[in-house]
Amino acid sequence: MPGSLVTLIIPCYNEIDGLPQLMRRLHSMHSTGEMAGWEVLFINDGSKDGTKEALNVIAKDNDWVRVVHHDGNKGLGAAVRTGFANAIAPVVCTMDSDCTFAPETLPKMVKMLNEGADIVTASPWHPESGAGSVHPVRKILSQGASWVYRKILRNDIHSFTPMHRAYRREVVKKVKFESNGFAAIAEIMVRAMFHGFRVKELPMPVDRRQFGESKINIYQSITAHLSLMRLAGWTTFTMWADAKLAGGRFVIEE
- Examine the pLDDT at 97 and tell me if it is beyond 70: yes
Distance (Å, rounded) from C-alpha 66 to C-alpha 114? 25
For the segment 49-62, what is each residue's pLDDT rounded down to a tens digit? 999 999 999 999 99
- Examine the pLDDT at 145 and tell me if it is beyond 60: yes
- Between 7 and 216, the higher pLDDT residue: 7
Q: What are residue 118's phi and psi, to 5 degrees?
A: -100, -30
- Examine the pLDDT at 253 and tell me if it is beyond 90: no
Distance (Å, rounded) from C-alpha 71 to C-alpha 45? 7
- Examine the pLDDT at 149 and tell me if it is beyond 60: yes
What DSSP letter does each residue of 175-213 carry, written as one string? ------STTHHHHHHHHHHHTT--EEEEE------SSS-
CB–CB of 74/45 below 8 Å?
yes
Domains of the chain by residue range: 6-248
- Examine the pLDDT at 239 and tell me if it is beyond 60: no
CATH code of 6-248, in short, is 3.90.550.10
Q: What are residue 130's phi and psi, to 5 degrees?
A: 85, 165
CB–CB of 34/107 below 8 Å?
yes
- Examine the pLDDT at 27 and tell me if it is beyond 70: yes
Contacts of 219 (CB under 8 A, 6+ apart): none
List the one residue out of 120, 90, 104, 128 whose CA is nearest residue 32.
104
For the segment 162-219, what is each residue's pLDDT rounded down to a tens digit? 899 999 999 999 999 988 888 889 889 888 988 999 999 999 987 654 545 555 555 5
CB–CB of 137/219 below 8 Å?
no
pLDDT at 142: 66
Distance (Å, rounded) from C-alpha 204 to C-alpha 207? 10
Which 3 state secondary structure label does DSSP give 118? coil
DSSP secondary structure code for residue 78 in this structure: H
